[in-house]
Structure 1
Amino acid sequence: MVEADVRHRNNVTVTGDPDGPVVVLAHGFGCDQNMWRLVVPRLAGRYKVVLFDYVGSGGSDLSAWAPERYASLDGYAQDVVDVLRALGLRRVTFVGHSVSAMAGVLAARTAPERIGSLVMVTPSPRYIDEDGYRGGFTVADIEELLASLDSNYLGWSSAMAPVIMGNPDRPELGQELTDSFCATDPAMARVFARTTFLSDNRADLDGVTVPTLVLECAEDAIAPRGVGSFVRSRIPGARLVTLDATGHCPQLSAPEATADAVLDFLDRVHGARPAS
């Protein structure tokens, strides 16, 4: 696809220092690039920041969505590769939130020349507990979650978004995530949810060879403590940082701490640069 097509299809936004190293921010399930708005200003003074929406989310071209492509996480990883190729970007730092962290892992395998480092924000390579691995959910939990989503997506969104966000003392955060979920086409959301919650990318972690930062929250109902340590243990040289934050979306609940951790990693990768 030509650059203009991909820019439109994935609603690509480019901001920040045009001459700085490139940071690509990728959203998770039920969200869009707006979820990064509190972090972007901190990064944009020193880095070129690229944001986009996966097809089926946010301001993407919904006519480009195809269930057979997005029934696999490889389809979302291909969106990442398409954006990077269309913009002619190489050796970027890919920052993936939640399921996007694993999309970044797959994209780095598909196009290793495009991704030079990874930041995985509240990642989970497997949500279901299995064989000594604790992902935080039983098979029955996920089956119930998906059945509820299938039967009443809007009701599921209203119930689940505050749980995912955490921070019950800040209900406006849960409401924002609810609104984001509800703005997503239910048919597309159902496919993305199955792709997310039924995925198992544990083995894919073994192929990561680029510098990697894993960010987890002190309390997270979706990716509980222990998952971050598992991810770090499978990636040679990976660094794990536990944010003093609650919930699954620290870019909204703790944007300064999230930005600081990302900037520290970027400075380690690219060499410290004076703040502008």
Structure 2
Amino acid sequence: MGDRRIWERCAPVWAERAGVQVITYDRRGFGDTTYRAEAHDDLDDLLAVMDDAGLATAVLVGNSMGGGLALDCTIANPNRVDGLVLIGALPSGAPEDRWVTDPAEAAVEEDYRAADASGDTTELNRIEARYWLDGARQPEGRVTGEARELFLDMNGRALAAAPVGEAAERPPAWPHLGEVDVPTLLLLGEHDEVGMAAIAPLVVEAMPDARLQIVPGAAHCPQLDAPDALDDAVVGFLGQLERV
């Protein structure tokens, strides 16, 4: 649901406190991107952004599907990645039999399916804010103010975006986790999906240099509901990379 604006609160903090250059961008179909519907590979787009910025390597930070893309990039191009921060993100191909669902999450998912079938994008936007921003197990409207307004605007634009065309499929990441030897921080909001909480320890166990950290007070998008805690986690991780 997010575009590059989801990082606008955190990016300058990371740049100042960690002394790094922070680059954010919009993926196809999100934010201010202009595009035509065509076959494409989101991984090629990511590498194009890095090349345009003159970056041979980078620490990749991704939330949700963006985290999956960052992980895929590391598997396919290990020489381009110095470290990974995966926020509310799981590798593709994770074992479905380990996924669990809370009754509250299942109820919101049922509402989503009904709204999706009706084609009511306004209702879809409300429900997705309920699920991803508030956390399905928390009261609706838990997150208010500018954070909620930003979520609804970003997600509303994504829901209304024109088709981007067929995206290239990549092999599941799960069988390749043992090959990811860059330092990795897996961050999970305490109010995010219970299924993620069940599988996240398995991800860390499978990766040679990874650790899991829970972000208190956050659901799926800590940049919006717990930015201070996210800043501390990411800046601390970047500081550890500098000492290695």
Q: TM-score range by the shorter chain?
A: 0.7 to 0.9
Shift of residue 237, structure 1, vs aligned partner: 1.9
Match in the other structure for 1:79 = 45
Which residue, out of 230, 233, 240, partners 1:258? 230
Q: CA–CA distance in 2 between the matches of 1:232 and 1:246? A: 20
Q: Match of 2:116, as an amino acid?
A: L
Match in the other structure for 1:149 = 116
The structure with higher relative contact order (CA 8 Å, sep 6+) is 2
Contact kept? 2:133, 2:143, Cα under 8 Å: no
| Larger CA deviation: 222-231 vs 100-109 | 222-231
Task: Flag the structure with higher strand content.
Answer: 1
Q: Match of 2:53, as an amino acid?
A: L
Task: Evaluate the alpha carbon distance shift between residue 206 and residue 142 of structure 1 in structure 2; reply closer, same or farther with a 3 A threshold.
Answer: farther
Structure 2 residue 186 is matched with structure 1 residue 214: yes
1:43-62 to 2 correspondences below 5 Å:
43-45=14-16, 46-62=19-35
Q: CA–CA distance in 2 between the matches of 1:59 and 1:222? A: 33
Shift of residue 153, structure 1, vs aligned partner: 2.9
Task: Flag the structure with higher helix content.
Answer: 2
Q: CA–CA distance in 2 between the matches of 1:61 and 1:238? A: 36
Task: Evaluate the alpha carbon distance shift between residue 181 and residue 60 of structure 1 in structure 2; reply closer, same or farther with a 3 A threshold.
Answer: same
TM-score (norm 1): 0.71
Structure 2 residue 9 is matched with structure 1 residue 38: yes
Structure 1 alignment gaps of length 5 or more: 1-29, 70-74
Match in the other structure for 2:201 = 229
Match in the other structure for 2:66 = 100
Structure 2 residue 115 is matched with structure 1 residue 115: no
Identity %: 23
Match in the other structure for 1:4 = none
Shift of residue 177, structure 1, vs aligned partner: 1.3
Shift of residue 93, structure 1, vs aligned partner: 0.5
Task: Evaluate the alpha carbon distance shift between residue 127 and residue 160 of structure 1 in structure 2; reply closer, same or farther with a 3 A threshold.
Answer: farther
Contact kept? 2:29, 2:164, Cα under 8 Å: no
Contact kept? 1:162, 1:177, Cα under 8 Å: no
Shift of residue 135, structure 1, vs aligned partner: 5.8
Shift of residue 240, structure 1, vs aligned partner: 1.0
Q: CA RMSD in A?
A: 3.4
Shift of residue 121, structure 1, vs aligned partner: 0.8
SS at match of 2:217: strand
TM-score (norm 2): 0.80
Task: Evaluate the alpha carbon distance shift between residue 162 and residue 143 of structure 1 in structure 2; reply closer, same or farther with a 3 A threshold.
Answer: closer
What is the total number of aligned residue pairs between the two structures?
A: 231
